[in-house]
Amino acid sequence: MISLAFFATMINYLDRQALSVAAPALREQFHMSNVTYSRVVFGFLLSYTIMNGVSGPLIDRLGTRLGYALCIAWWSAASILHAFARGAVSLGVFRFLLGAGEAGNWPAAIRIVAEWFPESERALASGIFNSGSAAGAILAPPVVAWILLHYGWQYAFVLTGVLGFVWLLFWWPVYKTPPEAEREVKAPVPSAWRLFRTRFVWSFTVAKIFLDPVWYFYIFWFPEYLKNARHFDMAAIGTYSWIPFMVAGSGNILGGMVSGYLVKRGLAVPVARKTSVTLFALLMLAAIPAVLVSSAAVSIAFVSLAMTGYTGALASMLALPADVFPKNAVASVYGLASMGSGFGGMVFTLITGWVVEHYSYTPVFFGFGVIPLICATILWTLTTCEDTSYIREQPL
């Protein structure tokens, strides 16, 4: 079951990452500046932010099987539509549609984890499915660059979009809810407003504002950084830009193992999760030397460490909602909280475009090295794993 979530996440990132790899060619063809490109990315993040708050409750109401299927069908169709872009505006519209569908991937996958895994295994299970994002990001540069160089950028979006429909052929007949989770999953779904009033949800939402934009920066801007700051051509981008994503894949597993180890050593589950997030947030400081060193190879190595820090921290972040809330509310909780990451992504993306346009990448890398520590601080000081049993018991 978790392998299905892994492959869906991988396809999600292939579709998402296709733009960043094709960005140099598209920016030249459509005459997009750094600011214009940041607005195209903003369009994706705007719909992604809005639909996180919609897709989570929708999946909890429709169930994992149907909800996940609808999300991936939507975003796969939106990916194919990119081939019809004729300028920055139409490209931005199709990115908006893509973001609306892709928002459902993590709420649905986290619900799979909640349905199938006990709390001692949830961080590792979350890390396993989330490593699909690294796999997709690893495959995207060489695959998309090869398609682009041989057939044109339009086919890059079409072929990656088709993969989602292939996934559906396996998902629909295979996925089922385990019998032991049936009763809890079929219980009435709490309202989004009731969930958001809990201290855990609103503080977790704020914490994600200062974590997930780090990853958005690397997936949307790293190929651009290699081209403009390190003077890589398209072939070199395809050859080398996948390396940090490959290294980051190890963080998904390592983060889950660290969290699970701390739980088995006797730490309370919330303390184990927060400790793991903090350790990996410190690793993200590697972004600072990445922009200062003269060697491109050493810079890529530091970026790899920073991205590993992100995936390691995220493994525990993904597990937290299922530790606190009943299975029929997990997708809603993570969807609502991910509105924070989308909001942060929008704000920091626009800031990134402006800073790069007027200054350089240096202050941007410094900023994305430091802000994960704000996330860790919020988890320790504001995020409490309070008793939410009243959500099950009170009438809706």
CATH number for position 141: 1.20.1250.20
> Tens digits of per-residue pLDDT, 32-89?
887 888 888 888 888 988 898 888 888 988 888 999 999 999 999 999 999 898 888 9
Whether the predicted pLDDT of 283 surpasses 80? yes
Whether the predicted pLDDT of 393 surpasses 50? no
pTM of the model: 0.77
Find the radius of gyration of the CA atoms of the chain: 20
The pLDDT of residue 386 = 60
Q: Mean pLDDT across the chain, nearest whole number?
A: 87
Amino acid identity at 269: V
Tokens linked to 319:
């597990």
How far is 372 from 352, CA to CA, in rounded Å?
16
Q: For residue 94, what are the domain limits?
A: 2-170+183-393
Tokens linked to 52:
């996180």
Q: Is residue 178 part of a domain?
A: no
The pLDDT of residue 197 = 83
The pLDDT of residue 188 = 76
More confident residue, 230 or 343: 230
Whether the predicted pLDDT of 317 surpasses 50? yes
Q: Is residue 212 part of a domain?
A: yes
- What residues have CB less than 8 Å from 35, skipping those under 6 apart? 353, 354, 357
Please compute the mean of the pLDDT values over residues 328-356 and round it to a whole number. Answer: 84
The pLDDT of residue 66 = 93
Q: Is residue 176 part of a domain?
A: no
Q: Is residue 177 part of a domain?
A: no
Q: Is residue 65 part of a domain?
A: yes
The pLDDT of residue 339 = 83
Q: CA-CA distances (angstroms) from residue 170 to 1, 84, 117, 119, 259?
A: 11, 28, 21, 27, 31
> Tens digits of per-residue pLDDT, 5-36?
999 999 998 888 788 778 878 888 888 887 88
The pLDDT of residue 375 = 94
Q: Is residue 175 part of a domain?
A: no
How far is 373 from 38, CA to CA, in rounded Å?
25
Give the model's confidence band at 228: pLDDT under 50 very low, under 70 low, under 90 confident, else very high. confident
Number of domains in the chain: 1
Q: What is the DSSP letter of 87?
A: S
Degrees, nearest 5: CA angle 67-69-71: 70
Q: Is residue 382 part of a domain?
A: yes
Share of the chain above pLDDT 70, in %: 97
The pLDDT of residue 93 = 92
How far is 313 from 323, CA to CA, in rounded Å?
16
C-alpha dihedral, 289 to 217 to 24 to 362, nearest 10°: -30
Neighbours of 300 (CB within 10 A): 19
Whether the predicted pLDDT of 390 surpasses 50? no
How far is 74 from 8, CA to CA, in rounded Å?
13
Tokens linked to 202:
């609103």
How far is 349 from 277, CA to CA, in rounded Å?
23
H-helix or E-strand spanning residue 248? helix 243-264
Q: Is residue 14 part of a domain?
A: yes
Longest dimension (CA), the chain: 62
